[in-house]
Amino acid sequence: MDVAELLVELGGVATRATLVRCTSRSAVDRALAAGGLVALARGRYALPAADDALAAAHARSAVLSHTSAAIHHGWAVKQVPPRPHITVPKNRRAPRRGWGPVEVHVANLSHDDTDGTATGKVLTLQQCLRTLPFDEALAIADSALRAEDGPSLHAASQLARGRGRARVRHVAALARAEAANPFESVLRAIALGVAGLSVEPQVLITSVEPWCRPDLVDRELRIVVEADSFAWHGDRAALAADARRYNLLVADGWLVLRFAWEHVMGQPEQVRSILEAVVAVRNRTDRTRPRSQPPA
């Protein structure tokens, strides 16, 4: 897989170790030399759009905000915004006409609300969780936890005020560090909207050998939902391991569903309808299954 394509699938940001593991050391070095990657910090890379967004904010004496700020902080997003998000102070009187392709937001910003180039972590999380669609907001909240920014997420939830406060707290409460990337976060967001389906990420299943941790598990209905990414399952060894694991789960009574990145990101309603149909089938099967008789 091309390094830039991989980075898009991973949410716009990734560590060098992840990129090398999924492609090769030489491919990452070539992409970096050609400008296909930019360094956010030591060992952590983003798409060139991150630098473009920073330049756009600097040119307008503004700060990055919303999803652009999330990327700046090293958090993966469902999709890199096509236009940089920037925030300017409410009291700014300079005209904003002719600013070009940017999304301009206006807010009262104190010194503590920014890190100089972007909104701070707490404010960025509040902006994203308050205004973004649920799946995009959950992807960023999950990523913040993976990046060990749990204290910022907790503060964002506790300090949220006014309209959208309940939404911020709801998304923060559902966030899980176990989701490996936005692909898994968005799939979980879809599943959470399906009545009768209660999934948890990375649940350890010990009834098969070797033990496994599927992406999403409904313990009650014994349903496993996998986010099958080419980045992680693209070679023959991975295919063989996946096939063995899925067969063992089915033989153990689990119903296994597999969704590709294209399905989850591009056809969420189809994914939802499949999940709803499977829940209905599972519930119908449970009702018609003969129940064991109690011992005499």
Domains defined for the chain, CATH in brackets: 48-174 (no CATH), 182-287 (3.40.960.10)
Gap between the Cα atoms of 143 and 198, Å rounded? 21
Q: Tell me the per-residue pLDDT of 264-282, one tens digit each, with 9 for 90 and over.
A: 999 999 999 999 999 999 9
Q: In terms of Cα–Cα distance, which of 218, 147, 155 is closest to 180?
A: 147
What pLDDT sits at residue 61? 85
What pLDDT sits at residue 237? 78
- Reported as a pLDDT band with limits 50, 70 and 90, residue 294 is very low
Q: Tell me the per-residue pLDDT of 151-202, one tens digit each, with 9 for 90 and over.
A: 999 999 999 999 999 999 999 999 999 999 999 999 999 999 999 999 999 9
What pLDDT sits at residue 293? 42
Across the chain, mean pLDDT equals 90
Locus of tokens 């999934």: 199
* More confident: 234 or 207: 207
**For residues 67-90, average pLDDT:** 93
Q: Which two tokens stand for residue 79?
A: 């999709």
- Reported as a pLDDT band with limits 50, 70 and 90, residue 295 is very low
Gap between the Cα atoms of 35 and 62, Å rounded? 25
Gap between the Cα atoms of 205 and 217, Å rounded? 9
The helix-helix angle for 150-159 and 165-174 (nearest 10°) equals 150
SS3 177: coil
Residue 272 carries which side chain, given as an amino acid letter? R
Gap between the Cα atoms of 32 and 45, Å rounded? 9
Task: Classify 254 in phi/psi space as left (phi over 0), alpha (psi -120 to 50) or beta.
Answer: beta
What pLDDT sits at residue 274? 98
- Reported as a pLDDT band with limits 50, 70 and 90, residue 99 is low
SS3 112: helix
Contact 182, 212 (CB under 8 A): no
SS3 172: helix
Using the CB atoms, write b or e for 142-161: b if 16+ within 10 Å.
bbbbbbebeebbebbbeebe
* Rounded (5°) CA angle 143-50-188: 25
Gap between the Cα atoms of 50 and 37, Å rounded? 9
Using CB atoms within 10 Å of the CB of residue 76, give its burial: 0 to 12 exposed, 13 to 18 middle, 19+ buried.
buried
Gap between the Cα atoms of 220 and 36, Å rounded? 45
What pLDDT sits at residue 96? 59
- Reported as a pLDDT band with limits 50, 70 and 90, residue 1 is confident
Gap between the Cα atoms of 52 and 86, Å rounded? 12
Gap between the Cα atoms of 243 and 136, Å rounded? 30
